[in-house]
Amino acid sequence: MLKTCLQHPLTRGLDIDDPQTTNLRRRIIAEKPFLRRIYQEWYADIAAALPPPPGTVLELGSGAGFLAEMLPDMFASDIMLCPHIDAVLDGHALPVRARSLRAIVMTNVFHHLAQPRRFLAEAARCVRPGGALVLVEPWVTPWSRLIYTRLHHEPFDPDAAAWEFPPSGPLSGANGALPWIIFQRDRDRLRVEFPEWRLDTITPIMPLRYLLSGGVSLRSLMPGWSFGLWRGVEGLLDPWANDLAMFARIVLIRGD
């Protein structure tokens, strides 16, 4: 009932897998100042984590975002045909030369990959030694479990035994807990199966601001001018990030 009342009117009743929904989400991000500043912060952190050239930076799932405005030399892609992208690409099978990328970056995309092993293998093939995989993704904490299972529209199953999940639509198929499962719960398995990747940093972030922004599906709960205030509040909560964070910034480095 609460989720229905808070749903953003632009996307109410739309098929989440319809490219038009992605286009509307891009508009929502642009029109919600609080939310746009969240994305700007995420993108600045992604840019700061990138290794130096040579190599191209490839973004997967660019459709609703605007990272290309901050990284104009980046190659923007999406699984669906959308405006403002350079190519339609599937992360499970990248038409990219071996060792030609200096980084692959994603914002809220990894948890939609139904076959993450295929993606990690493809990314290892395409990223040069010393290159990076930089992600901003949902994270599992006691607080986020409560929010993602009650207010979010995507599946969220931290107890899933398998990394894979049944494929469906490009956005309706998901497990929001997948990044935590692979990079935290099963990190020893990740190390054994993908020795090419070194897990560099996991930084739990943002316990409140994304929720207050309403994201791309719900109405904003706070005006844009209050963004700095809430960022300060979150700064005070940093010591409890492992219990409260709703997202994490994850950086993996490609070994030799």
Q: What is the pLDDT of residues 196-248, one digit of tens each?
A: 999 999 999 999 999 999 998 888 999 999 999 999 999 999 999 999 999 99
The structure tokens listed for 145 are: 């479990």
**Res 176: pLDDT:** 97
Q: Please, what sign has the CA dihedral across residues 43, 46, 52, 55?
A: negative
**Would you list the DSSP string of 47-90?**
HHHPPPSSSEEEEES-TT--HHHH-TTSEEEESS--TT-SEE-B
User: Is 159 exposed, middle or buried, given 0-12, 13-18 or 19+ CB atoms closer than 10 A?
Assistant: exposed
Judge whether 115 and 241 are in contact, CB under 8 Å: no
Give me the pLDDT at residue 15, please.
82
The predicted model gives 94-102 an average pLDDT of 97
CA–CA–CA angle 155, 175, 218 (5° rounding): 50
Residue 50 lies in domain: 2-254
The CATH code of the domain that includes 213 is 3.40.50.150
Beta strand spans in 62-159 (E): 75-78, 87-88, 101-107, 127-138
What own/partner pairs with CB < 8 Å and gap ≥ 24 does 68-74 have? 70/40, 70/43, 70/44, 71/43, 71/47, 74/105
Chain centroid to Cα 89, Å, comes to 16
pLDDT band at 69 (very low <50, low <70, confident <90, very high): very high
The letter for the amino acid at 153 is H
pLDDT tens-place string over residues 99-155: 999 999 999 999 999 999 999 999 999 999 999 999 999 999 999 999 999 887 789
Number of structural domains (the chain) is 1
